[in-house]
């Protein structure tokens, strides 16, 4: 069974976090939600309070097959401001394990120094100038161990692509069929 970490910071984009958590769990992935901040209760960009399972500091040293960053303007800024998260993302890359980010969150990967001109990514269109890499105007881009998604409207397909990378084609398509989603 694969294991994924989803860090939640105040202001995270609701649909991006929930779609990833839900779809990965439907596919059998162990998903750990970890709060970046002072409390397990994390308020989303649209005022929904979600209770993380644990504090990031308590699970930062654990091993993960994927780390998945939801976007959201304030949430992304709060992720960028977490030195512990930035260090963990660098370690994830050094271990050649999957990094995933959607919407504004690819800018967190940029902040961590994990993107360069050879990397193909997508992100929210207004964040395009904030990533120093090869930006692609597609809903989801998977390239060189990094999966990126464009926006909240891409959350389901993004989550399915992450699931496919972790658990394979058959599982991802089974989950998509259950969602009545063309994948």
Which residues are within 8 A (CB) of 14 and not within 5 positions of it... i.e. 6 or more apart?
Answer: 44, 45, 46, 48, 72
The pLDDT of 93-122, averaged and rounded, is 96
Per-residue confidence (pLDDT) for residue 5, from 0 to 100: 98
- pLDDT bin (cut points 50, 70, 90) of residue 77 is very high
Q: Is 129 a residue whose pLDDT tops 90?
A: no
Per-residue confidence (pLDDT) for residue 12, from 0 to 100: 98
- Please tell me the distance from the alpha carbon of residue 107 to that of residue 164, in angstroms, as a whole number: 23
Task: Please report how many Cα atoms fall inside a 13 Å half-sphere around the Cα of residue 39, on the Cβ side.
Answer: 7
The 3 state secondary structure assigned to 94-110 is HCCCEEEEECCCHHHHH
pLDDT, tens only, 148-182: 999 999 999 999 999 999 999 999 999 999 999 99
- pLDDT bin (cut points 50, 70, 90) of residue 104 is very high
Per-residue confidence (pLDDT) for residue 132, from 0 to 100: 86
Maximum alpha-carbon separation in the chain? 40
Query: For this structure, is 100 an active site residue?
Result: no
pLDDT, tens only, 12-29: 999 999 999 999 999 999
Which residues are within 8 A (CB) of 54 and not within 5 positions of it... i.e. 6 or more apart?
Answer: 32, 33, 34, 35, 40
- Please tell me the distance from the alpha carbon of residue 3 to that of residue 132, in angstroms, as a whole number: 29
pLDDT over 70 percentage in the chain: 100
Residue indicated by tokens 């207004």: 126
- Residue 150 and residue 140 in contact, taking contact as beta carbons nearer than 8 Å: yes
The token pair at 132 is 């120093």
Q: Which residue from 71, 38, 76 is spatially nearest to 57, judged by alpha carbons?
A: 38
Per-residue confidence (pLDDT) for residue 128, from 0 to 100: 87
* Domains, the chain, with CATH or none: 3-179 (3.40.50.880)
The pLDDT of 50-54, averaged and rounded, is 98
With 0-12 / 13-18 / 19 or more C-beta atoms within 10 angstroms meaning exposed / middle / buried, residue 129 is: exposed
- Please tell me the distance from the alpha carbon of residue 119 to that of residue 146, in angstroms, as a whole number: 8
The whole-model pTM stands at 0.97
Q: Is 98 a residue whose pLDDT tops 90?
A: yes
The pLDDT of 42-61, averaged and rounded, is 98
In sign, the C-alpha dihedral spanning 101, 107, 110, 111 is: negative
Per-residue confidence (pLDDT) for residue 122, from 0 to 100: 97
Q: What is the DSSP letter of 82?
A: -
Of the residues 100, 103, 123, 127, which is catalytic? 103
């Amino acid at each position: 069974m694969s294991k994924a970490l989803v860090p939640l910071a105040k202001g995270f984009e609701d649909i991006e976090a929930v779609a990833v958590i839900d779809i990965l769990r439907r596919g059998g992935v162990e998903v750990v939600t970890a709060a970046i901040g002072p409390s397990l209760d994390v308020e989303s960009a649209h005022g929904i309070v979600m209770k993380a399972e644990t504090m990031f500091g308590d699970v930062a040293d654990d091993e993960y097959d994927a780390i998945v960053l939801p976007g959201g303007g304030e949430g992304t800024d709060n992720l960028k401001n977490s030195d512990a998260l930035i260090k963990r993302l660098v370690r994830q890359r050094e271990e050649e394990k999957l990094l995933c980010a959607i919407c504004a969150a690819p800018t967190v990967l940029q902040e961590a120094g994990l993107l360069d001109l050879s990397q193909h990514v997508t992100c929210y269109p207004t964040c395009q100038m904030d990533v120093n890499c090869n930006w692609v105007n597609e809903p989801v881009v998977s390239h060189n161990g990094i999966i990126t998604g464009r926006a909240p409207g891409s959350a389901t397909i993004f989550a399915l692509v992450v699931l496919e990378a972790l658990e394979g084609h058959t599982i991802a398509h089974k989950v998509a069929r259950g969602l009545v989603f063309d994948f």
